[in-house]
């Protein structure tokens, strides 16, 4: 029987977690967050270990990466309150990276790049909102989605040429938001678009010569 189907294991874990929360409430020690953060990271790594064996499919990467991100967020809140603004980014960003690993493990799973890019974009948006740099994160959100679909066009699979259409539409929406925002940091926004557009053209040209 797989370890994640062992009800005794989960029962003991829940009891220990409850005890940690009880001590936290009685003594004021942040044991609850520390316990659940460490437990989430350890369980997450066990899921990842399951995924990287030939006997198991790719799906454990998803709960594994999410649990690791959740655990890191809890530990940051417990030990590093000065950088607590990254807490919302960690579950989303690490889960997004997990979807990228789904593609790396089985490159036929090109679709995994889409939720991966969306989740990382949402994580970056939440991080920018927490930092409060005055940047219109709506434009950043659509730019991230556009780059996600542009990334699909860089794959060797020629059947993904359709991804140019949502990539260009989403990037255009991002540019439009940047135009109408009229914010002080709009120059930074446009600089990022130009840099990313140039990188895309260079990478695309190199790949076309290699084919």
pLDDT at 66: 95
At what angle are helices 31-51 and 7-27 packed, to 10 degrees? 160
If you average pLDDT over residues 148-176, what whole number do you get? 83
- Chain segment 113-129, per-residue pLDDT in tens: 999 999 999 999 999 88
Contact 4, 47 (CB under 8 A): yes
Q: Averaged over 193-205, what is the pLDDT?
A: 68
Statement: residue 183 has pLDDT above 60: no
What is the C-alpha to C-alpha distance for residues 89 and 84, in angstroms, rounded to an integer?
Answer: 10
Question: What is the pLDDT averaged over residues 163-192?
Answer: 72
Q: What is the mean pLDDT of residues 25-44?
A: 83
Residues in CB range of 199: below 8 A, 6 or more apart: none
Tokens standing for residue 141: 């959100």
* pLDDT tens digit sequence for 38-52: 999 999 998 888 887
Within its chain, how far is the Cα of 66 from the centroid?
Answer: 9
What is the pLDDT, as a whole number, of residue 54?
A: 61
């Amino acid at each position: 029987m797989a370890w994640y189907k062992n009800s005794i294991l989960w029962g003991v874990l829940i009891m220990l977690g409850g005890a940690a929360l009880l001590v936290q409430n009685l003594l004021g020690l942040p044991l609850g967050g520390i316990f659940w953060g460490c437990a989430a990271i350890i369980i997450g790594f066990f899921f990842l270990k399951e995924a990287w064996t030939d006997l198991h499919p790719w799906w454990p990467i998803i709960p594994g990466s999410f649990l690791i991100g959740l655990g890191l967020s809890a530990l940051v809140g417990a030990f590093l309150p000065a950088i607590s603004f990254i807490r919302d980014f960690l579950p989303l960003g690490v889960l997004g990276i997990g979807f990228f690993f789904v593609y790396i493990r089985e490159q036929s799973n090109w679709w995994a790049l889409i939720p991966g890019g969306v989740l990382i974009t949402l994580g970056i948006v939440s991080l920018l909102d927490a930092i409060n740099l005055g940047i219109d994160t709506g434009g950043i959100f659509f730019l991230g989605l556009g780059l996600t679909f542009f990334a699909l066009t860089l794959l060797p699979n020629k059947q993904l040429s359709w991804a140019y259409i949502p990539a260009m539409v989403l990037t255009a929406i991002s540019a439009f938001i940047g135009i109408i925002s009229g914010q002080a940091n709009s120059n930074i926004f446009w600089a990022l678009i130009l840099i990313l557009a140039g990188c895309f053209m260079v990478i695309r040209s190199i790949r076309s010569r290699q084919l």
